[in-house]
Homo-oligomer: A and B are copies of this chain.
Amino acid sequence: MVVFKASKFILSGSSPGTTKSIAHRLLLSHGYIHQVGNGLYSFLPLGQRVIDKLIRLVDIELESIGAMKVSMPILGARPLWEKAARWDSMGTELFKIQDRHGVEMCLQPTAEEMCTQLVAQLPPQKKRMFPLLIYQTTDKFRDEMNPRFGLLRSRQFLMKDLYSFDLDKDGATRTYNRVCKIYDRILRDRLGLEVYKVTAQPGIHGGSLSHEYHLPNPLEEDGIHFCSKCGSGSKKEDGPCKCECGESSSVRTFSTVEVAHTFQLGTKYSEALGALTKEKQPLEMCCFGIGISRLLPAIVSLLSTSEKAVRLPPLISPFSAAVIVTKNLMDNVMTELTLSSLDRRLSGGILLDDRVEDNIGKRIKSLREIGIPRIVVLGKTTEKTINKVPKVEYFPPQEDSQQDESREWTLNEVMQSIG
């Protein structure tokens, strides 16, 4: 078991300046991220832990449907990008670069071309390999005219992009629905988010059918119409409200941010790059993206009820729990036992708050502010009971806690409540 110590781990955050985004202010001031330049951010230790947990969560869910993780280079050659005519159509958002030999390349914002080329260049795969699902989680680049709201619209961002290859259209539709279900599972079931799936125009990526996943957000960056009756909706920018049941009185229109998108691409890329079946037919493709780094501010905006404290789903909080100890109990076996019991039960890391020069109230406040869901205090109560049945003070995740509940628990009771 690795013990992370609060005295060492929690970097002071930086001043949030004047941004309109509450989530961005929270992430800057609580040491989740740091601004490096225009639209460029570092993840600090707290933010990095959340990003790593999001990546792992997505890996597990995608592996469960047989998707295979790869990583493709960031640099994409101009001739590759010209094959589906996107070198020019991506416009000024494409970061362009020349190597020492004058060869033109771009910092890829997405990888339809490169992934399709990969499938075209490998020896023909056997029929049993299809549908072939290939994905990566890598840095992507977009030279935004006006980067804003921190990670929400940055110039370097982390995206999970999955590409599927099927032998025919029906197969592609089945794959599309299957991956959409997994997206629901990740965002709704695992992360517990209020998420809205709406139809969207495929746009520059091409194809026939596209959906986006949106979270409510006050920044007016995007917006959707959504019908509470039939559960369908569309993007505000695509025109008047459209819902499947036609009951326009059940349609609400509100401000959101996009966190994921899905496309049935058809054969645009497979034809252009020669990714073919054994019978020389172009493979039917879909693509699926999740904005891993933009999920962080989108979730913080959705869940943080106060401007002062970061809130995240316990599954992806930087630590699953923190243990606050007094100086007296620092080297006590009870501290060791509490840490190891929590570590066995919870897989997201345990933080030992050893900042004994600060009082316990201040430390609870500090841990709440950085978004630790469960706090166990080994303080006066524990010191008094240590030789009988030791008690701790336990602060469960907010959604479980009851105001009038006793704070004094045995370690066993804490473990049972975690389940």
Interface residues of chain A, those whose CB is within 8 Å of chain B, are 2, 4-5, 7-9, 11-14, 31, 34, 36-38, 40-45, 48-49, 51-52, 60, 63-64, 66, 68-75, 77, 92, 95-97, 99-100, 103, 107, 114, 117-118, 121-125, 128-129, 138-139, 141, 143, 145, 155-156
Contacts of A95 in B (CB 8 A): 97, 99
Q: Are A73 and B143 in touch, CB under 8 angstroms? A: no
A282 to B11, CA, bound (A): 19
CB distance from A367 to the nearest CB of B (A): 17
Task: Pick 29 A–B contacts, CB within 8 A, sort by A.
Answer: A2-B64, A8-B129, A9-B66, A11-B125, A12-B122, A12-B125, A14-B121, A31-B122, A34-B122, A36-B117, A36-B118, A40-B75, A41-B73, A42-B118, A43-B71, A44-B70, A45-B68, A48-B68, A48-B69, A49-B69, A51-B71, A74-B156, A75-B155, A95-B97, A97-B97, A100-B143, A100-B145, A107-B107, A139-B139
Q: Which of the listed residues A64, A70, A92, A118 has the most CB atoms from chain B within 10 Å of its own CB?
A: A70
Task: Find A34's partner among B11, B31, B34, B118 (CB 8 Å cutoff).
Answer: B118
A contacts with B: majority SS: mixed
Residue of B nearest to A69 (CB): B48
Q: Are B75 and A156 in touch, CB under 8 angstroms? A: yes
Task: Find A92's partner among B11, B97, B100 (CB 8 Å cutoff).
Answer: B100
Q: Are B74 and A128 in touch, CB under 8 angstroms? A: no
A123 to B15, CA, bound (A): 9
Task: Find A8's partner among B13, B41, B128 (CB 8 Å cutoff).
Answer: B128
Q: Are B73 and A40 in touch, CB under 8 angstroms? A: yes
Q: Are B71 and A42 in touch, CB under 8 angstroms? A: yes
CB distance from A50 to the nearest CB of B (A): 12
Can you name 10 extra interface pairs (CB under 8 A) apart from A36-B72, A52-B69, A99-B143? A2-B60, A11-B68, A31-B122, A36-B117, A40-B73, A74-B139, A75-B156, A92-B100, A97-B97, A107-B107
Contacts of A36 in B (CB 8 A): 72-73, 114, 117-118
Q: Are A45 and B74 in touch, CB under 8 angstroms? A: no
CB distance from A393 to the nearest CB of B (A): 25
Contacts of A72 in B (CB 8 A): 36, 42
Residue of B nearest to A51 (CB): B71
Contacts of A141 in B (CB 8 A): 75
CB distance from A120 to the nearest CB of B (A): 11
A100 to B51, CA, bound (A): 29
Q: Are B156 and A14 in touch, CB under 8 angstroms? A: no
Contacts of A68 in B (CB 8 A): 8-9, 11, 45, 48
A184 to B297, CA, bound (A): 39
Closest 8 CB pairs of A and B: A45-B68, A12-B123, A40-B73, A97-B97, A42-B72, A2-B63, A43-B71, A48-B69
